Amino acid sequence: MANPARPRALVTGASAGIGAAYAERLALNGHDLILVARRQDRLEALRDRLRKERGVDAEVLVADLASGDDLARVEARIRKEPLALLVNNAGFGGYRPFVELGPKVLDELLEVHVRASSRLAHAALPAMVKANAGGIINVASLLAFSGTLPPKPLPHRAIYAGAKAFLVAFSQTLAGELVGTQVRVQVCLPGLVPTEFHEVQGFDRSHLPPPMSAEDVVTASLAALARGEVTCVPGLEDPALLDRLAEAQRAVLMSANKATLAARYREAKGA
């Protein structure tokens, strides 16, 4: 039975990997849970174990977030009861050259990473703002910063990396809108994690650095949320690098936002 005194968190992609690690940690921290994923058997096994070991109320909500109907059901569940925390973790890579990416996979990448994350945040935020409490964690990827890097040794990832870059900008901008409230927004950008994610995509990790555990990613993410960090990079030792990145982005925005063409383009105009 749900305990109204306990906070409730909803975790998408909870059947394995980082999502399951969030569910485990949040249960340990005293949260009741709504577990969302496509694989009912795994969700039910996780629910039963968390109920037995942690004494929490864990609810299973089977949904494919690429489906509009399933997404609407999850939104309706969120609006039914205020959440203390929403973890938008569901995702898949779809790693292949863009020209070989089927339209269905392309749409599903955008639907899961962009549409579902946005819609679930939109469903959760009104109650959080009213209560002046709560948080949203959007799980992105270090590949959000990989646009200038070639596809080898990294995977082909035009849509995946673009969708994760959306989550970075979305989270940072949304956090700016919520300044002055106690509602926190975070984007978490893990690197390699030893989960089923890459095996399902058929991606060979052997030539890349050793992965970080899903449990360590969650440790960093929840610690960063408590500290009010909007951008969490679990493996980044020097956070000043993020400050420099933000400063460079602001410098480009401010110096380029003008009516005059840059000198290197005037010749093309015949000026």
265: left (phi over 0), alpha (psi -120 to 50) or beta: alpha
Q: Tell me if residue 160 is catalytic.
A: yes
The candidate with the shortest Cα–Cα distance to 35, out of 60, 67, 55, is 60
Selecting among 22, 95, 160, 265, the annotated active-site residue is 160
The candidate with the shortest Cα–Cα distance to 213, out of 10, 6, 25, is 25
User: Around Cβ 97, how many Cβ atoms within 10 Å?
Assistant: 11
Pairwise CA distance, residues 187 & 264, whole Å? 36
Tokens describing residue 148 = 């200038």
The candidate with the shortest Cα–Cα distance to 140, out of 101, 110, 111, 113, is 113
Q: Strand (E) positions, the chain?
A: 8-12, 32-37, 58-62, 85-88, 134-139, 183-188, 231-232
Torsion of CA 29, 34, 38, 40, to 10 degrees: 90
Tokens describing residue 115 = 């549409």
Residues with catalytic function: 160
